[in-house]
Structure 1
């Protein structure tokens, strides 16, 4: 009876270990996360960006990973070239797009002539089962000439639109609407209450 009880005890421990292993959340270093497989989108924050009328709204850039070639990323932003609260459609709204490796992205942010060193303060990401880079690129080009409006057609709302075209699985629960939400508040608070987003990382 003792041997039978011991065997049962070992079986229970084995099953428990398997369950714990399956449900454990892996701790992934920042570099390793960006090099993992599958789709992935990241939002970058400049918390001091977009100063207007005595208030700082914050500015964001977006980045998406090619799920078929995880060493390749596409990234961009809309930087309000006119510096006003509104830019009419057809005029330059400061949108740009680039592509390359994750390191290329990090270096381009720091070395690009339009940014000061360390322009973005932090970033946070979410993984997706897949992603459609071409759909995301089409969305960027469609919005490149549709103007700018500080609360409803800005760097954040354009980033969200690109993310959703890249992965329709990023529903409102994973990627809440950004209309009327300052980008710095969305990054720091809204995404804390959304599903699946990793904690902010500095770089």
Structure 2
């Protein structure tokens, strides 16, 4: 025998359906409404700097996740210090992840021939303009092997991109070999993904 529908049960069913119909679009935001997601990545050349390691950097545009800005400081003079205003080998590009890797033409890449590993961390957002300003400010400020090098410049760019990357998540890199920092110090810093083959 079929169950009788009571007015109370019918009213509750109608109310529940109405709540679900109006609540679902609010509860599930569209990708355009989702919070911006930032991302920064280190790239490691293990044999760079006579085996101490060399790093390049990349930051993702939180408003357009297919766009990246990347670069490095390559110590153009090849010695332990470069005076401000002289070429320290800093460079930067922007484009897609495939362009960053050199899989698409037209950009200077973080070369797959030179870099073996990379590791990244997501951030709640990111200030791409602040990261680019920091890069420009450091481009001509020289080079010093212990205090103003590929690693310290990368850390400064990442911290301006996301102030949440404090010393807890991004330890100081002065007087530290980039390879040691990449493999040992980032292992102890919360949030960093494991190193992956590049």
Same fold (TM over 0.5): yes
1:148 maps to which residue?
A: 143
TM-score of the superposed pair, with normalisation by structure 1: 0.76
Are residues 1:157 and 2:143 paired? no
Give 2:69's match in structure 1, choosing from 55, 59, 74.
Answer: 74
Are residues 1:173 and 2:173 paired? no
Displacement over 6 Å in runs of 4+: 108-116
Gaps of at least 5 residues in structure 1 are: 1-36
The 1-side partners of 2:150 and 2:41 are apart by: 14
1:20 maps to which residue?
A: none
2:37 maps to which residue?
A: 38
The 2-side partners of 1:125 and 1:115 are apart by: 15
Over aligned residues, Cα RMSD in angstroms?
2.0
Are residues 1:190 and 2:189 paired? no
In structure 2, do the counterparts of structure 1 residues 113 and 70 end up closer, same or farther at CA, with 3 Å as the change threshold?
closer
1:75-119: per-residue Cα shift (whole Å, max 9, x none)?
000000000000011100000000001111011799978987521
Give 2:126's match in structure 1, choosing from 124, 131, 148.
Answer: 131
1:132-177: per-residue Cα shift (whole Å, max 9, x none)?
0100000000000000011110000000000000000001110000
Are residues 1:48 and 2:43 paired? no
Is contact 1:111-1:117 (8 Å) kept? no
Q: Does the residue aligned with 1:141 lie in a helix, a strand or coil?
A: helix
TM-score of the superposed pair, with normalisation by structure 2: 0.78
The 2-side partners of 1:117 and 1:171 are apart by: 29
In structure 2, do the counterparts of structure 1 residues 101 and 111 end up closer, same or farther at CA, with 3 Å as the change threshold?
closer
The 1-side partners of 2:100 and 2:111 are apart by: 15
Count of residue pairs brought into register by the alignment: 163
The structure number with the bigger radius of gyration is: 2
